[in-house]
Structure 1
């Protein structure tokens, strides 16, 4: 199935669940119910037991077990269920596509859980205009007996972090505050809140209908079901793919027509893989569900330097490791690409100083991405430091805002 943007295709390996019924485009309320049936009315204990039975993890970057998050909530006084649709990772498309094409599946998961928890509010944070329009239209097509609000958020990278989303919902800036309180304890308006990303709520809606046995008919024994993956880079068929959990990475790459070469798993806070044989896609290793094939025609270090510039530009401006540390690493990689040995030495030193000291996860994730590049592209580093470079141009294979998507 193909959306308006010819590059963004939806495809399925195995049985479609989240993407079921979307071959004709957006599913309105009637087509949604025809495809999935009515949403069961479950209590809190039932949701907890379902999530625990299948080992359901959140489908954002943290991959936190849903049952543990539910258990951490108090028995009463839960203020809101928050749907984090601020998908600010520039490569990922899975959450905004669910909001755009399957909004009722997301709403079923969010409103069903809100009723079970006794939460009076369902709050949806969205940064994509088309997704926001679709979810607002879906709300008008239903009567859930809850206060459901959609808030537009900025598309900056750090704006998708949970605490940044809560700040935006409260009318503040979409940046993570210095405090690190869990939303289950001090979330929306400092009251207990269940917050997760869009795919998590869609998965809950599917799980509620299928039950643990039906849900576990595909995927891993330890974490069954399906997952959404965004595939891009040096591939013939980029887009969003629904696969069973635990599918071989090599199968997804072949399915997408990926060129041979290194692969970035998890997006721009993820890690590089020099080889893909024997790698199976499951959480938390697959992180936000992003697979980027680099191919062999572009300069790896030049590509990484481009992304490092963008990552530095996304700083919330709240702490030294983010403001100064990432800027220093951009300069380090610039000098490294140009063959200056001091760039390599300074990068190693700065990469040891950044992690664990930031106000949010952005410095840590950026450092992980850059450190992984130095390790995997060691031969390219040697070629650049020898003065001749790798001989390949920088083709812009790694998407950044303003690029191919």
Structure 2
């Protein structure tokens, strides 16, 4: 396999599991994959669901839904589908692309573990990234058991990566979330029951099936055993993808920044800005209890050399551009919020309009995009108080905008 990844090599804090054999930044061919992971062990439907329950495995996408519950809800049989959602559409997130580019056989193992448990051969991997597609295609050519796995590359934006939008696109429709909430296990690809999750979740299922519950849970927090992938952005020692044991203090990723540390973004562009990370640990349940959903695993901290409000304004405009345009909060609300953030950047006070718009967005859209966009802006307004005050008074904070928060998924994708 000769497909190379141009981004920094990923880093493991502790023993690499998902990243075993690939922290060099070179993709693992089948021989090297088996050297590190061994032959894949398969489990029955009930056994796999029970293992996922034992280790309290949560989905590694946005919803963090219990995987065992999702597996148990799936009917078995040749008509069911398995969907690996590799549509990693948030520019700041790189973890799923890292697995597809560097550990493609682990992704195939996870997909085939689920397919074998459900008694189906219908497996689809949907993705946006051409490098990932080439790497997966090369890996598929190395193994007979993956010959039937379908790779589908789509051209889509942020909301098209939502699993129901991806399914709608695969079924020939427009890749936007349907207004009516129909779960994939009820009706998915070809209107058949579909087990769908993101790439990292399938990789964990491959590890869990091979290791068993006890070995899988030998690292990490008892609350959420194992490891997780994060994408670190900005002023951090190891920007890029890292694998960490769950339960690691968030502060371990954020060394001292001086007398006035910048706020930290937890959960990416549908996440929250916070000023104090003390006491926070990297588990999805504990972060959610603190009002900080980890979402796709993005942790960002800006340097003191960039205008933080400018970074927020750029992302708010990107979020507005990603609107599906199918409901009022998306079509009107998010662009209006972005407009007001840019006015604030220029020192023009919105007179409370921005705060009111942000407060009215959540809970009214056809998907979670308005809710997440509102959280990103609302928490930024609270966390960046001093800088916002400088912009209100002087029209600037004195720092240039350095594009530290990416707004294009094309970086490193060619």
Instruction: Please report the TM-score for the alignment, with normalisation by the length of structure 1.
Output: 0.93
2:384 to 363, 371, 377: 377
Structure-1 separation of matches of 2:134 and 2:411: 23
- The reply to whether residue 169 of structure 1 matches residue 154 of structure 2 is no
> For 1:386, what is the secondary structure of its paired residue?
helix
Q: Which residue of 1 aligns with 2:108?
A: 107
Structure-2 separation of matches of 1:280 and 1:225: 14
Q: For residues 84-103 of structure 1, what are the alpha-carbon distances to aligned partners after superposition, in whole Å with 9 as ceiling and x for unaligned?
A: 00000111111011111111
1:352 to 359, 362, 366: 359
Structure-2 separation of matches of 1:388 and 1:230: 32
Q: CA deviation at 1:279?
A: 1.7
Q: Which residue of 2 aligns with 1:337?
A: 345
Can you give the 5+ residue segments of structure 1 that lack an aligned partner in the other structure?
A: none
Structure-2 separation of matches of 1:231 and 1:353: 31
> For 1:106, what is the secondary structure of its paired residue?
helix
Contact persistence 2:228–2:244 (CA under 8 A): yes
> For 2:83, what is the secondary structure of its paired residue?
strand
Structure-2 separation of matches of 1:135 and 1:255: 39
Q: CA deviation at 1:68?
A: 1.0
Q: Which residue of 1 aligns with 2:311?
A: 303
Q: Which residue of 2 aligns with 1:11?
A: 11
> For 2:220, what is the secondary structure of its paired residue?
coil
> For 1:247, what is the secondary structure of its paired residue?
coil
Q: Which residue of 1 aligns with 2:187?
A: 186
Q: Which residue of 2 aligns with 1:317?
A: 325
Q: For residues 351-381 of structure 1, what are the alpha-carbon distances to aligned partners after superposition, in whole Å with 9 as ceiling and x for unaligned?
A: 1221111111111111110011111112222
Cα pair distance change 1:349/1:128, threshold 3 Å: same
Contact persistence 1:270–1:368 (CA under 8 A): yes
Q: CA deviation at 1:146?
A: 6.9
Structure-1 separation of matches of 2:72 and 2:410: 42
1:286 to 294, 298, 302: 294
Q: Which residue of 2 aligns with 1:74?
A: 75
What's the Cα RMSD here? 2.1
> For 2:149, what is the secondary structure of its paired residue?
strand
Contact persistence 1:265–1:271 (CA under 8 A): yes
Q: Which residue of 2 aligns with 1:132?
A: 133
Instruction: Please report the TM-score for the alignment, with normalisation by the length of structure 2.
Output: 0.92
Q: Which residue of 1 aligns with 2:334?
A: 326
Contact persistence 1:153–1:174 (CA under 8 A): no
Moved more, 349-358 or 52-61: 349-358
Cα pair distance change 1:367/1:78, threshold 3 Å: farther
> For 1:33, what is the secondary structure of its paired residue?
helix
Can you give the 5+ residue segments of structure 2 that lack an aligned partner in the other structure?
A: none
Q: Which residue of 1 aligns with 2:406?
A: 399
> For 2:201, what is the secondary structure of its paired residue?
helix
Contact persistence 2:9–2:23 (CA under 8 A): no
The aligned length equals 400
Cα pair distance change 1:402/1:26, threshold 3 Å: closer
Cα pair distance change 1:180/1:76, threshold 3 Å: same
